[in-house]
Structures are given as C-alpha cells and as structure tokens.
C-alpha cells in the first residue's frame, strides 16, 4: 500500500488540502485531533502535547475510531511539546493507551533528528514499559542533507530502540539549516526522489510525510521544500511527491 502522506498545516487558509487528492497520497495528519479531509486518504489524529492548552480528553474523544494515532511533537524540545520522559509516559498512559482498546495503533512521540531526541525516546520507552504502556510504531522527524544520512539516522534510532518497531517519518525535508547558504532546488528534488524510493523499499517504514504542504516555509527551509507553488498549484516537487 502507499506510504506517502501529507502533513497539513492548519494555518494554511489559502489552499485546499484536496490539491493532494489522487496519486499516491494515502494518509493525512495536521498535528491536531481535528479532521483534515483529503479524498481517499486516512486521517490520523495527533495529541501535540498536554501542555499549553492542548487537551488530552478532547483528543481522546476526537480520536475514537481512528485506525492510527500519533503522540507528542518533539517533546524533548522546550520550544515544542516540552515534556520530560516521565511526564510524557504518564500522559500517554492516560490519553493515548486507552485508544488501543478501540482498535487504534499507537505511534510514539515524534523526536527530532538529534542525539537529544534519541536519548529522550529511549528514556520514554523505558518509563512507558515500567507503567505498562507500549507503542506500536516509532514516529521520527529528519531534516538535513544527504539521503544516506537520512536513512542511516532512522535505521540507528530503530536499532537503538530494540529493532522491533516499524517507523513512520512524520516530517522530513532537505535543508542546510543556513539561510545564507540554502540548498538548491535541484538538490531538494534529487533528495526527494532518492529518499522516497529508499523509504518505499524499506519494509519496516510504514508511512512518511514531507514537510511542507504550503507555498512558503521559514528561512531555513525556504521555498525549495514547498509542495505548493506560489500560484496555488502543485509545485514540481509537489507533483513528484503526489504522482512520482
């Protein structure tokens, strides 16, 4: 089945997610429990955090009946979900684990591609195990350059968490992180083509979602990683992603 998905930014009010209908898009998420519809794509709810006004009970009620759900967003980072492993394991047990009884598969919190993220994940999985919870798949983010670097990182995280979990890549893109020396459009195009081919060929990678589904991204990601062109149509990159 198709692994390819859309991470839809709810703040994108100028475009319709249905621009991604058809082709190879099989799933969509939007960092929240509230539905985004793309015809023919499964919606996957997410509990971004239990801090900053994010409501675990509301998530639980919205997520009932979902086939898969996603955990917290980069909890190791103070500017993201900002949860320590113990706090996250307890919140998981309270709000996410009960969805298993309703038939959902449960995705781990999504870590950034740093040693800090990997350390956090290992601690979280230990804590969760201690209180009788478990994940069904790992959710990982990756930003950088070089397809080998990308595949090596996700392989390493999988190995260092027991080599037992399938993987979803819920954000990834090609960037130098340096706005004054950005990657070229050609490098991004090549990275996408090569990375989706590799991800499609790995049996333990179940799903992935490129970042980002909008016309403009921040300075570090620039316009080169956008799936939507300034005119509101799919960019060349977007067409490769949806149909390639």
> 226 pLDDT band (50/70/90 cuts)?
very high
Which of these, 146, 198, 215, 140, lies nearest to 175 by C-alpha position?
A: 146
Q: Are strands 205-210 and 27-29 parallel, antiparallel or unpaired?
A: unpaired
Using the 8-state DSSP alphabet, how is residue 204 labeled?
Answer: T
Report whether pLDDT(50) > 80. yes
Look at residue 54 in the predicted model and tell me its pLDDT: 72
Instruction: State both tokens at 45.
Output: 């709810």
User: Which is higher by pLDDT, 78 or 54?
Assistant: 78
Instruction: State both tokens at 76.
Output: 């190791």
Q: Which of 29-33, 107-111, 178-182 has the lowest mean pLDDT?
A: 178-182
- Rounded CA gap, 234 and 190, in Å? 17
Q: What is the DSSP string of 62-120?
A: HHTT-SEEB--BSTTSTTTT---HHHHHHHIIIIIGGGGGGT-EEEEEEEPSSHHHHHH
Residues β-bridged to residue 46: 70
Residues β-bridged to residue 205: 167
- Segment 205-221 shows an average pLDDT of 96
Report whether pLDDT(12) > 80. yes
For the whole prediction, is pTM greater than 0.75? yes
Look at residue 100 in the predicted model and tell me its pLDDT: 97
Report whether pLDDT(151) > 80. yes
- Segment 233-243 shows an average pLDDT of 98
| Distant-in-sequence, close-in-space partners of 197: CB < 8 Å, separation ≥ 6 | none
- Segment 138-161 shows an average pLDDT of 98
pLDDT in tens, 81-138: 999 999 999 999 999 999 999 999 999 999 999 999 999 999 999 999 999 999 999 9
- The sign of the dihedral angle between the CA atoms of 145, 82, 117, 63 is negative
Report whether pLDDT(58) > 90. no
Report whether pLDDT(53) > 80. no
Q: Tell which CATH architecture fits domain 4-243.
A: Alpha-Beta Barrel (3.20)
- Rounded CA gap, 214 and 233, in Å? 10
Look at residue 133 in the predicted model and tell me its pLDDT: 96
- Segment 42-65 shows an average pLDDT of 88
Look at residue 57 in the predicted model and tell me its pLDDT: 85
Using the 8-state DSSP alphabet, how is residue 201 labeled?
Answer: H
Look at residue 1 in the predicted model and tell me its pLDDT: 64
Using the 8-state DSSP alphabet, how is residue 228 labeled?
Answer: B
């Amino acid at each position: 089945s198709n692994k390819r998905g859309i991470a839809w930014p709810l703040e994108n009010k100028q475009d319709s997610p249905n621009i991604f209908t058809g082709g190879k898009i099989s799933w969509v998420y939007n960092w929240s429990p509230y539905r985004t519809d793309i015809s023919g794509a499964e919606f996957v709810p997410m509990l971004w955090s239990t801090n900053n006004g994010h409501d675990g009970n509301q998530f639980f009620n919205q997520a009932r009946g979902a086939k898969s759900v996603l955990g917290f967003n980069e909890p190791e980072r103070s500017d993201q979900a900002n949860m320590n492993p113990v706090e996250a394991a307890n919140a998981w047990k309270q709000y996410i684990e009960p969805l298993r009884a309703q038939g959902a598969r449960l995705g781990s919190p999504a870590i950034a591609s740093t040693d800090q993220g990997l350390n956090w994940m290992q601690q979280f999985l230990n804590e969760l195990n201690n209180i009788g919870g478990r994940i069904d798949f790992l959710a990982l983010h990756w930003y950088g350059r070089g397809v080998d670097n990308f595949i090596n990182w996700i392989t390493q995280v999988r190995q260092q968490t027991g080599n037992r979990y399938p993987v979803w890549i819920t954000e990834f893109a090609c960037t130098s992180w340096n706005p004054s020396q950005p990657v070229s459009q050609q490098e991004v195009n090549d990275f996408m083509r090569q990375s989706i081919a590799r991800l499609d060929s790995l049996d333990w990678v179940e799903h992935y979602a490129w970042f980002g589904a909008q016309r403009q991204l921040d300075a570090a990601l620039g316009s080169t990683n956008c799936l939507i062109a300034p005119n509101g149509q799919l960019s060349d990159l977007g067409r490769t992603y949806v149909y390639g």
